[in-house]
């Protein structure tokens, strides 16, 4: 029995995988629990179209992020903070402060998309 998984199933497959299972397992467990659907030809076409659209969206997001990264390359930001005599700052610089500094430079970046490398 061929099924399309609606979510990740341990030891079987990931979401949107087409898997072959025994008929009893599919009819009595996977389909009634909503974990899978029958893999008919029309369902396979819909799945292929959905995967194509998801890949297109993912590529667009990646291209947009790459374009922003290229624009940000070489930009230096100055963020004021109180520091002790040894030069160490009190507290920390957070993503909100970085997003505000980028906005002053003309870049509108969501603070949730800013990450720090450790």
0.75 exceeded by pTM: no
With beta carbons less than 8 A apart as the criterion, state whether 33 and 3 touch. Answer: no
Mean pLDDT check: name the lowest of 6-15, 22-31, 50-59, 109-118: 109-118
Is residue 104 exposed (0-12), middle (13-18) or buried (19+ Cβ within 10 Å)?
A: exposed
User: Model confidence over 87-102: pLDDT tens digits?
Assistant: 888 888 889 999 999 9
Which pLDDT does position 89 carry in this prediction? 86
- 1-39 CATH choice from 3.40.5.10, 3.40.640.10, 3.60.15.10, 3.40.50.1220: 3.40.5.10
Query: E strands within 1-118?
Result: 2-5, 18-20, 36-38
Percent of the chain with pLDDT over 70: 100
- Give the 3-state secondary structure of residue 13: strand
User: Model confidence over 22-48: pLDDT tens digits?
Assistant: 999 999 999 999 999 999 999 999 999
Is residue 5 exposed (0-12), middle (13-18) or buried (19+ Cβ within 10 Å)?
A: buried
Which pLDDT does position 46 carry in this prediction? 94
């Amino acid at each position: 029995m061929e099924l399309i998984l609606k979510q990740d199933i341990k030891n079987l497959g990931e979401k949107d995988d087409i898997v072959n299972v025994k008929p009893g397992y599919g009819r009595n467990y996977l389909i009634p629990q909503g974990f899978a659907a029958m893999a008919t030809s029309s369902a396979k076409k819909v799945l292929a179209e959905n995967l194509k659209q998801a890949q297109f969206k993912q590529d667009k997001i990646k291209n947009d992020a790459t374009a922003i990264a290229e624009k940000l390359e070489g930009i230096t930001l100055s963020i004021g903070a109180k520091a002790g005599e040894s030069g160490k700052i009190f507290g920390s610089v957070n993503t909100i402060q970085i997003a505000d500094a980028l906005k002053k430079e003309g870049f509108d970046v969501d603070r949730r998309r800013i990450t720090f490398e450790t």
